[in-house]
Amino acid sequence: MKAKNYPKQLKELRAEMTKVNEAIMGNLNDFFRISNQIGEVKDKMGLAHFDPVRESQMLKEIHQKNKGPMPNDLMKRIFKEIFRASVEEMDVGTRSRLKVKRLPNAKDLVIRVNGIEIGGEKPILMAGPCAVEDFDQIYITAKGLKELGIDILRGGAFKPRTSPYSFQGLEEKGLKMLRTVADEFNMAIISEVLDTRNVSLVAKYADIIQVGARNMFNYSLLKELGKIRKPVMIKRGLMATIDEFILAAEYVYIGGNHEIILCERGIRTFETQTRNTLDITSIPILKNETPLPIIVDISHSLGRKDIIKPVAHAALTAGADGLMFESHHNPLAALSDSEQQLDLGEVQELIEYLNEYFQFSTVN
């Protein structure tokens, strides 16, 4: 094709524009270099990245100094966009400086509990009743689960209930029952701590301490858990963004406890068919952004058990390091969450189904 023969003037103007483009690019790079440094200083001082007062001051200065020919409102629009992008970049910078951030080529964090590797090659299963109710209940359920290859026993002794009139848990009595049963069947225990006053009590009996969804934003509790030397599993808050979830883990990490597991358990949306909406996308995002093991709670995500198989499959396919689900030897008699707890036959069915696709890690 024949090259177009543009008039000399257009060629010159274009060449001039290319030079200006390069100058703008250089200036923008200077701008972002400085704004990223401001972001770092602000992070150290604990200040917010976006400062509306400073922004309007800068826009006023620009307005006063603009000699045209670009009209002021257009100039303002462009600068506003640059400021917005710089705040976004500051946020990216902050995230990249987090201690729980995955470094390039970093290995996954593997947490070892009672001979079980969480975050290792094979996924794991954690199961047990919503709450410890009495010795027979936890004994029969744990025995059945162990026979099905489950090595981590869950059970709440401190229960975060919506109604103060609902069963609140057996507290230390429940923890003792869990310990006795877990020792008999060589299982590890995961149990929830509700507040700072009970951290050492729960840590005395449990092998993994659970922070429930309602407490993901409880920074005093997270700080306290940073001081202990037992793995902590943090559940995603009901209304928490993925970034807020990661920051909750950062609290525990900088407190000195690096053994952190993240648990996706669904978030609140307008959907009513499930108890929460399981955010499958958080699994690969959290895996990319942190080296921490990710467990998916398929019981509290759903609040129902008829669709548990495909959802469990999806969670593991998305990269989860394991699943948590609730199981009770007699769900109809359960004191909490009876509609979502699997009986032992249902657990067997679920495991048989999953075994066709996945190999789980077991102790013996």
Residue closer to ligand PEP by CB (options 90, 233) is 233
Distance CA 14, CA 71 (A): 22
Percent helix / strand / coil, the chain, rounded to 5: 45, 15, 40
Residue 13 CB coordination number (10 Å): 12
Among the residue ranges 61-69, 86-94, 133-141, 208-216, the one whose residues contact ligand PEP (CB under 6 A)? 208-216
With residue 139 as reference, give the H or E element that holds it.
helix 135-147
Q: Which is nearer to ligand PEP, 94 or 277 (CB)?
A: 277
Residues 329-358 that bind Mn ion (CB under 5 A): 337
What whole-number distance in Å separates Cα of residue 41 and Cα of residue 33? 13
- Residue 235 site contact among ligand PEP, Mn ion, none (CB < 5 to 8 Å, cut-off depends on kind): ligand PEP
275 in contact with ligand PEP (CB under 6 A): no
Residue 37 token pair: 């440094």
- Taking CB positions, which residue lies at the least distance from Mn ion? 130
Question: Residue 213's binding partner, choosing from Mn ion, ligand PEP, none, with beta-carbon cut-off 5 to 8 A by kind?
Answer: ligand PEP
Distance CA 205, CA 213 (A): 21
Strand-pairing partners, residue 154, are 190
Which residue spans within 142-218 are E strands per DSSP? 152-154, 188-192, 208-211
The only residue of 146, 265, 305, 329 in contact with ligand PEP, by rule CB under 6 A: 265
For residue 231, state whether it binds ligand PEP (rule: CB under 6 A).
no
Least separation in angstroms between CB 133 and ligand PEP? 13
Query: Is there binding between residue 235 and ligand PEP (CB under 6 A)?
Result: yes
171's tokens: 């507290």
Q: Which of 146, 258, 287, 300 binds ligand PEP (CB under 6 A)?
A: 300
Asked if the peptide bond before residue 231 counts as cis, ω within 30 degrees of 0, the response is no
Q: Residues 122 to 141: which contact ligand PEP by CB under 6 A?
A: 130
* Structure token digits, residue 234: 């943090």
Cα–Cα dist 352/143, whole Å: 18
Q: Is 313 one of the binding residues for ligand PEP (CB under 6 A)? A: no
- For 141, the enclosing helix (H) or strand (E) is helix 135-147
**CA 147 centroid distance within chain:** 31
What is the smallest separation between the CB atom of 154 and ligand PEP, expressed in angstroms? 7
Task: Report the residue number, 132 or 318, with the smaller CB distance to ligand PEP.
Answer: 132
Cβ distance to Mn ion smaller for residue 167 or 185 = 167
322 lines the binding site for ligand PEP (CB under 6 A): no
Assess 130 for contact with Mn ion (CB under 5 A).
yes
- Which of residues 213, 246, 252, 323 is near ligand PEP by CB under 6 A? 213
Residue 325 is inside which H or E element, if any? Answer: strand 322-326
Residues that bind Mn ion (CB under 5 A): 130, 337
Residues that bind ligand PEP (CB under 6 A): 130, 156, 160, 192, 212-214, 235, 265, 297, 300
